Amino acid sequence: MAYIEVKNENKIYQMGETQIFANRDINFEIEKGKITVILGPSGAGKSTVLNMLGGMDSPSSGQILIDGVDVAKFNDRQLTLYRRNDVGFIFQFYNLIPNLTTLENVELATSLVKDSLDPKEVLDQVGLSERMSNFPSQLSGGEQQRLAIARALAKNPKLLLCDEPTGALDYTTGKQVLQLLSEASRKFNKTAIIITHNSEIAKMADRVIHINDSKVHEVIDNSQPIKAVDLVW
Ligand SMILES: Nc1ncnc2c1ncn2[C@@H]1O[C@H](COP(=O)(O)OP(=O)(O)OP(=O)(O)O)[C@@H](O)[C@H]1O
């Protein structure tokens, strides 16, 4: 059994008389510790899939098996605990707490979970050991995303879910952040899922899930993923 198995997942939004199929019979598997890119154009249904995997929403039907447990069946309390303990989120616009320092941003996240990693050690790993007492506004965009990655990693989650993590960064910084993400995923053996509309980013993944028009169109495995720093777009 794969670490993640999404089976016959549908998400339908009811807008008055109209039904919007955000996800239509989605099926895929992801192995533990691998990097997966979910690729597709705007409106394809990528964020909806990520929301299901992250316990931010539940499907209309189907299964979301994470480590053998169907999170689609979770009630609100179980979803809260799942999001808190098992999922590290990395967003396009970082979502840091502005009036907490770098270290405090990570400590706040780790204080909520049981088996967290040492915040200072993780900040050191992402190259922010000299910036622990700075506030987010005193960091560059790339550093803020490094902090967001550290905050997610320090929770020691089962999954790292990344929604367009380079969307707000310039070309070089974006590639550096992707490189850090892939190194962190390999080093900490974390299952990382990155959603993007940039097909070049797909080349760094072990598996690429193409989503288009609310459906999975193809799943492709890269036997030799490219290093993120060597991507060109
Ligand atoms: N809460 C909602 N209510 C109604 N429709 C929704 C809702 N969330 C998403 N949708 C619709 O579902 C479809 C898929 O949206 P989704 O955000 O998953 O796409 P996406 O691939 O992530 O797009 P983008 O790259 O632009 O973020 C879209 O047609 C969107 O308008």
Q: What pLDDT does 233 receive?
A: 87
Domain CATH for 148: 3.40.50.300
The number of residues in the chain equals 233
What's the domain count of the chain?
1
pLDDT tens figures, 206-233: 999 999 999 999 999 999 999 999 998 8
pLDDT tens figures, 17-36: 999 999 999 999 999 999 99
Of 226, 91, 98, the closest CA to residue 167 belongs to 91
Which of 18, 20, 193, 216 to probe ligand 1 with, by most ligand atoms within 8 A of CB? 20
* pTM given for the model: 0.94
Q: Quick one: what percent of the chain has pLDDT higher than 70? A: 100
Whether 206 contacts 228, CB under 8 Å: no
Q: Which residues line ligand 1 (CB under 6 A)?
A: 13, 15, 20, 22, 40, 42-48, 197
- pLDDT at residue 13 greater than cutoff 90: yes
Report which ligand 1 atom has the smallest distance to the Cα of 21: 12
Which of 6, 13, 52 to probe ligand 1 with, by most ligand atoms within 8 A of CB? 13
Q: What pLDDT does 135 receive?
A: 98
Whole-number average pLDDT of the chain: 95
Instruction: Domain of residue 219: give its range.
Output: 4-230
Q: Quick one: what percent of the chain has pLDDT higher than 90? A: 90
Which of 17, 47, 197 to probe ligand 1 with, by most ligand atoms within 8 A of CB? 47
Atom 3 (ligand 1) nearest CA:
13
User: How would DSSP label each residue in 101-145?
Assistant: -HHHHHHHHHHT-SSPPPHHHHHHHTT-GGGTTS-GGGS-HHHHH
- pLDDT at residue 168 greater than cutoff 90: no
pLDDT tens figures, 39-95: 999 999 999 999 999 999 999 999 999 999 999 999 999 999 999 999 999 999 899
Task: Note the helical H segments in the chain.
Answer: 46-53, 76-86, 102-111, 119-125, 141-154, 171-187
